[in-house]
Amino acid sequence: MIVAAQLDRSIIESIVRQIVSAQSGLSANKAAAPASAAAKPNLVVSISARHCHLTDEHVEILFGPGAKLIPEKPLYQDGFYAAEQTVMVVGPRRRMLPTVRVLGPTRKASQVELAFTDAISLGIDAPVRHSGNIKGTPGCVLVGPKGVVELTEGVIRAARHVHMNNRDAESYGVKNGDFMKLRVESPQSTVVFEDLLVRADGTSKLEVHIDTDEGNACYLDGATKVELLKQSADCKCKH
Amino acid sequence: MIVAAQLDRSIIESIVRQIVSAQSGLSANKAAAPASAAAKPNLVVSISARHCHLTDEHVEILFGPGAKLIPEKPLYQDGFYAAEQTVMVVGPRRRMLPTVRVLGPTRKASQVELAFTDAISLGIDAPVRHSGNIKGTPGCVLVGPKGVVELTEGVIRAARHVHMNNRDAESYGVKNGDFMKLRVESPQSTVVFEDLLVRADGTSKLEVHIDTDEGNACYLDGATKVELLKQSADCKCKH
């Protein structure tokens, strides 16, 4: 197990924390029952701290005319990055989170992804949604150094999911849109997360995304083993 | 499923949130395989928000000579209560949580129980420990209206556990010190918590204690089913 370097000194301010399962760890995984005999790829489990995605228009309102997102750190998936920019997220009762990281590139709709702990602290009843599916979700106010945006919708708790390419999907015997389970074994805090949506395409790297509540619940930083299991697989959890 | 009334208007400030599984819900639990045919008791799953336990001496230092804890709300376990009093918990870098509830009655050693989210925000590396087992754990500073206490140890993340009486234990086929699993089924957020310590005695009511990170990870407030399973039980989780 390797704990990837944190991006900031303070964990709470870090954008992503990761656990990487080495090949040897995964080969000890007897439950995944790959459909082929091909070597399985390394499994990366990433904790996404609260963050937001912005449209080009909102970047200019918040950070000034002509402003663009400035990449600061690349994320694990190629082409995605944590920007230098942060925004303040303000809830309905004027509670706020002062520095929420913007992730790039820009999107067609702005969206704020919070853990329930964050949403509760803001007084927002955030629904569990997959990224991009924000119709009818609560809004919030974003405050940047040059302007303010009122989002009428877009505040969600991102539903847990796993990115992979089609070869990975084949090796696990799953396809895009299926559900899997993630088992994280850690001292006194082992958890099995069900309802893990498979998002398979031609190019993504194998990576599970969970939020800070989920990462803290399973003590991911102390994990000794991570396993990706078919939802329908026989459970090998200490049985 | 019944969501018990919250103790405070704001969820984040509430002391305990609970999900109570009605008898009908539990009887649908096919996985627990009770050793006897006796009707199973209702299962209560409680989220403990951050709180502290104090010694008589520390109550007097923090709240003044002669001060006693004043019960405000009874907890589910008989004889235990949330006190009127709160303390400020200060971490090593002068970050603080302003209002941490004191639970009564007093104990032989003071102890602060935090979720990892809380501990990270304070800059404290809290270990996962069962209540009362605080040797070698980090300390903190407690600030009350009349004085200050520096704890040299006692800050923990409380390990998940289930209270029950010996009849409950018999009905589940477990004994004090065994481990069980809690499965919480909720929309897009189903979780199985392993490593759930059984604390069985002659008088306790059946109640699972998890922390706010765990309760948020499994979206306990939206749960449609809770099941207490033997660690060694055949897994019925959608298989």
Condensed to tens digits (0 to 9), the pLDDT of residues A38-92 reads 556 789 999 999 999 999 999 999 999 999 999 999 999 999 999 999 999 999 9
The C-alpha atoms of residue B215 and residue B17 are separated, in whole angstroms, by: 9
Q: State how far the alpha carbon of B106 is from the alpha carbons of A225, B77, B132, B151, in Å.
A: 39, 15, 12, 16
Cβ contact B213–A117 (<8 Å): yes
Nearest C-alpha neighbor of B158 from the set B82, B99, B206, B209: B209
Kindly give the parts of chain B with pLDDT less than 50.
1-13, 22-38, 236-239
Nearest to B114, CA basis, from B140, B135, B92: B140
Count contacts between A and B (CB, < 8 Å): 106
Residues in chain A closer than 8 A to B115 (CB atoms)? 117, 216
With bands split at pLDDT 50, 70 and 90, how would you rate the model's confidence at A22?
Answer: very low
A68 vs B97: CA distance, rounded Å: 37
The answer for residues whose C-beta is within 8 angstroms of residue B53's C-beta and 6 or more apart is B102, B103, B106, B107, B109, B110, B111, B113
Q: Is pLDDT of A146 > 50?
A: yes
The mean pLDDT value for A181-201 works out to 97
Question: Closest to A191 (Cβ–Cβ): which among B191, B233, B237?
Answer: B191
pTM value is: 0.86
What burial class does residue A208 get, using C-beta atoms within 10 Å of its C-beta: 0-12 exposed, 13-18 middle, 19+ buried?
buried
Q: Decide if A235 and B237 are in contact by the 8 Å CB cutoff.
A: yes
Averaged pLDDT for residues A181-198: 97
Nearest to B213 among A193, A213, A231 (CB): A213
**At B27, is the secondary structure helix, strand, or coil?**
helix
How far off is chain B from A49, nearest CA to CA, in Å?
11
> Would you state the pLDDT for residue B126?
97
| Contact: A194, B194; criterion CB under 8 Å | no
Which residues of chain A lie closer than 8 angstroms to B239, CB-CB? 232-235
Interface contact flag, A194 B231, Cβ < 8 Å: no
* Interface predicted TM-score of the whole assembly (ipTM), two decimals: 0.85
Q: Which 3 state secondary structure label does DSSP give B213?
A: helix
Contacts of A235 in chain B (CB under 8 A): 234-235, 237, 239
Q: Which of B45, B96, B137, B189 to mutate to test the interface with A (most CBs of A within 10 A)?
A: B189
| Residues B154-189: tens digit of each pLDDT | 999 999 999 999 999 999 999 999 999 999 999 999
Cα–Cα distance for residue pair B208/A64, rounded to 1 Å = 51
Q: Does the structure show a pLDDT above 90 at A7?
A: no
Nearest to A237 among B160, B222, B235 (CB): B235
